[in-house]
Amino acid sequence: MDSLINIVLLSFLVVTAFAIIRMNDLFAVVMLSGIYGLLSASFFVAMDAVDVAFTEAAVGAGISTLLMLVVIAQTGRKEKTSRHKPLLALLIVLITGSLLVYSSFDMPHFGDAHAPIHEHTSPRYLNDSMEETGIPNVVTSVLASYRAFDTFGEVVVIFTAGLGILAILTIGRRKEDDDEIASINDSMHEQHLVIRIVAKILIPFILLFALYVQFHGDFGPGGGFQAGVIFAAAVILYTMLFGLSTARKVINQSFIKLIAATGVLLYGSVGIVSIMSGGNFFDYNVLASDPVAGQHLGILLIEWGVGCTVASVMIIIFFNFSGRLELHQRNERSKNREPS
């Protein structure tokens, strides 16, 4: 039965991938990409990788879809037909794919009980992580404790991406433009009254669920990455329904940038304090008199840092992409007002 489910999910993934390749409607491509993310999440659930499935659903099918919709609003819905034949690109893809397939022959067979990961790595984490870290969720103990340095690198990459977006897409705003856009949002209020009321009811629960995911990652699927994306999704939902100018009045952009940097600083500071306390970098055992209590404290702090940075960077990316769309619409209105 498990094999049948895997075959069906993989078949759907292949069909969706080919449909994405054949589509010229970018809106349909984004929707299919969201479906692909949900199918991938389902496949991870079938493989008992619930934490990975949670992340894929939140990022791949959730916030990525929202960001791509904002991009489409600026670039247009239809893909322009290209007359050139990308034979060189096709050749590179075929060579790269062949090398990847060839390298996979040296990997253990899927589900092989004698694979190194099953004979050495997994028993070490499954048997000893609870005693060493006191964390029931083995995935959290691995990501936040055993390979904390690697996770720190991922957080720095996310923070760097936010800096890149700020450097490339940040634009200036004028007060008269904000007033004009606010008036447009007010005129749209009656058209989307029901949706806005429902959103106002749902957003507090979404934020509460994000906090639950943040602080429940020790005991079940979740943690800073998933919680940060969910929290940002609530802010993005508010922005899409009530307008960017309104969201800017509610959410201070300077404060969001400060939170993004503070999250990375908090994460790195835990490692520095570990060294100053006589341990290794990200050795949480020295953070408290009891090693298990130190592990709990260290994981709590770095997960909080991850959540702050991820949520802030996602909001920064969306606000800057939306700002470019706002600039484009402003320019179009200016052109229409010019006398012919």
Q: pLDDT at position 307, please?
A: 93
Q: pLDDT tens track of the chain, all 340 residues? A: 777 888 888 899 999 999 988 888 888 899 999 999 999 998 888 888 888 888 888 888 888 888 888 778 777 777 776 666 778 888 999 999 999 999 888 888 877 778 887 777 888 888 888 888 888 888 888 888 888 999 999 999 999 998 888 888 766 555 555 555 555 455 545 567 788 888 889 999 999 999 999 988 888 888 889 999 999 989 988 888 887 777 888 888 889 999 999 999 999 999 999 999 888 899 898 888 888 888 989 999 999 999 999 999 999 888 887 776 665 555 555 555 555 5
Q: Where are the alpha helices (DSSP H) in 76-173?
A: 87-104, 116, 122-133, 138-141, 148-169
Q: pLDDT at position 327, please?
A: 59
Asked whether the beta carbons of 230 and 204 are under 8 A apart, the reply is no
How many degrees, rounded to 5, is the angle at CA 140 between CA 309 and CA 291?
Answer: 105
Q: pLDDT at position 190, please?
A: 55
Which of 72, 90, 87, 80 has its CA nearest to residue 28?
A: 72
Q: pLDDT at position 288, please?
A: 87
Dump pLDDT digits (tens) for 215-251: 888 888 888 899 999 999 899 888 888 877 778 888 8
Non-local (6+) Cβ contacts of 226 within 8 A are 54, 55, 58, 213, 217
Q: CA 116 → CA 108, 119, 234, 317, 334, distances in Å? A: 8, 5, 42, 40, 64
Which of 117, 157, 129 has its CA nearest to residue 264?
A: 157
Q: Give strand pairing partners of 78.
A: 25
CA dist 122 and 157 (Å) reads 27
- The domain spans of the chain are 1-78, 136-340
Residue type, 171: I
CA dist 27 and 73 (Å) reads 9
pTM to 2 decimals? 0.80
Rg (the chain; Cα; Å): 23
